[in-house]
Chains A and B, each alone.
Chain A
Amino acid sequence: MGQTVTIDPVTRIEGHAKITIHLDDGGAVEDVRFHVTEFRGFEKFCEGRSFWEMPGITARICGICPVSHLMASAKAGDAILGVKIPPAAEKLRRLMNWAQYVQSHALSFFHLSAPDLLLGMESFPAARNIVGLIQAYPDVARNGIRLRQIGQEIIRILGGKSVHPSWTVPGGVRQPLSADDRDTIKRMLPDAFDIIEIALDLLKDSFESFAREIETYGNFPSLFAGLVTPDGGLEHYDGLFRVMDSDGKLLEEGIDPARYRSIIEEAVEPWSYLKFPYYKPLGYEDGAGMYRVGPLARINICDYIGTPRADRELRQFRRLGERGKPVASSFHYHYARLIEVLFALEKIEETLESDDITSTRVRSEAGVNQLVGIGVSEAPRGTLFHEYHVDENGILQKANLIVATGQNNLAMNRTVRQIAEAYITGGKPGEGLLNRLEHGIRMFDPCLSCSTHAVGQMDLQVTLVDRHGTVIDRLTR
């Protein structure tokens, strides 16, 4: 008789999830599943609300990356108004977005993953958290807390609140930046640069001792997708959508992200509330259309980063992959994340020097001019799509959101399977192994409070698989 081991709940991730491992009679791994157990239904209950309310409502999808939803939602609103927002407003939005990368990536690295990296994957569970880190490595913990604080503080200075600021709105932003506040932000940056350098050293020093993890934690070929600037640079706020295969070949060079439906489709499995988006041209079968988004994907698909210090790191990062190919190990999400923090800090510094950064012209006024608005932005965890269909009064008739974490669902499932197969040699796995599986999920920094709101209006495929992995039913609409 085979047995099932359940990890419930998966902890130190941003959301609600379980992992099940199905073992066969001989104790070998038969199947591993990452189940997302939360469901809230945003797109449906937003029907009937005004698009003006959407940034405020959709920010509540996620308290970790509310700014991402503010950006995508406000950009969808810009499209409904049919306006180009003032240049200072775009710079200010980008500033807040980069500040969010700083706080969110600091949270992921220091608060959630560093306990595994510094205390050990198999260390005592009750102390394997930020509190244990404060005790064992107080300087590291304090640095993490400080880096996250700097990101949150910039958001608060710009928007009045660090979580759910009601500042980014269709047409621009509500409040300009004062010269005093600009200077306050500037004064925080040297500290942040010091901390990110320490974090980069810390992580790179760990590569040698984590060689086996790098090999077995989500190391497989897949597609990578995300936004890039029109000339191929790293991009977080706007840009074109690019898809790269595991050989480094571009399958989509740079398409208008508003056309996302032509290349992304979603499947549903009966054992998770989270859908399974895939790259449509290659299909769902055997994970052929599996793609990864987020820091690793963005750093892999861009031709260059565009700031001096981050570009230097990029050259080191590229050496981790086979020549000319993207870096395949998901363990390097950690590295990519830190490179993005460095980039964000450099961009914040550069942007604060713009002549018009304190301009008071920060909002374009208009009414409803388009009945469909699609807003796309890069959230810390990957590409975020908001699509709104409104009536003449701006009342939502239909909404579709695709969030980053959903797009990593196939890859996260593949990752937990790969780790289980590598570390289970027969019989019931020990506690340390369970934490390894969870770390596999943590690398993706999934945001499950975000991920379970996607209501696909697209083609939908449901696959039923029996315990032997045989497809017994498939329904498509």
Chain B
Amino acid sequence: MKQHAKRKKIRLATAWLGGCSGCHMSLLDLDERLVDLFQAADLVYSPIADIKTFPEEVDVTLVEGAVANVDHLELAQQIRERSTIVVSFGDCAVTGNVTSLRNRLKVDDLLTKVYQEGPGKAPRGLEEDRIIPALIPKVLPLHQVIEVDAYVPGCPPEPDAIWEAVNALLHGAPVRLKQEMRYFG
């Protein structure tokens, strides 16, 4: 990527919705390649950085996790409005995966069972105090909420697949993963 050093740096973001952060861990498993990556791209938003609001004019955003609560919904919409390319990053974003296993249960039943098997008050995203976000009825894969431009499957995707996808995006090319990189689980 060194020959592109003079080109304007790509504005890269990563976001974490309802998932386990395993995809972000696999991204960090790029290891030394991270140094190359951050020479070509500025990290403008990420769980590993201290930026609190999703910025404007982002070139590429990798989104880990499924959409499970109202905060995720809001962030997903912001990401779509402010990013040129949105990547559905890992199986939870692509299919709902393990995060969506709760879909056979009703949210109210789930929270009741978890927090108040018996009389009590559950934290449930109180209307007057929107500090903790309410769960949405069904966990949704990202493309059911916003338009997605590329998919990188895997639970988590292997670092080599991430590297291939990110490299293509940094060069303005479409993401075309090799057959052996297109797997689930």
Contacts and interface: CB of A to CB of B under 8 A. Distances in A.
Interface of A: 6-9, 11-16, 18, 20, 35-41, 43-46, 57, 60-64, 66, 107, 111-112, 125-126, 128-131, 134, 138, 141-142, 145-146, 148-149, 152, 161-164, 268-273, 435, 438, 449, 455, 457, 460, 462, 464, 475, 477
A40 B67 CA distance: 11
B43 A62 contact: no
Contact of A12 (B50, B68, B135): B50
Contacts of A38: 18, 69
Interface string B75-112: 00000000000000000000001110110110000110
Given A64-B25, A477-B120, A271 B52 contact: no
B118 A163 contact: no
Interface string B117-137: 111111100100101110100
A273 B156 contact: no
A37 B131 contact: yes
Interface residues of B, number: 58
* Interface core residue of A41, A61, A163, A270 (most chain B CB under 10 Å): A163
B20 A37 contact: no
Interface in B16-71: 16, 18-26, 28-29, 31-32, 34-35, 38, 42-43, 46-52, 68-69, 71
Nearest to A112: B48
A131 B22 contact: no
B114 interface: yes
B115 interface: yes
A273 B52 CA distance: 21
Contact of B110 (A15, A41, A126): A41
Contacts, number: 184
A422 to B, nearest CB: 21
B4 interface: no
B51 A126 contact: yes
A11 B116 contact: no
Closest 7 CB pairs of A and B: A63-B22, A477-B118, A60-B98, A129-B49, A63-B20, A462-B120, A125-B50
A346 B28 CA distance: 25
Contacts of A11: 47-52
Nearest to B22: A63
B14 to A, nearest CB: 12
Contacts of A145: 31-32, 34-35
5 contacts: A12-B50, A63-B24, A128-B49, A134-B38, A149-B29
B120 A126 contact: no
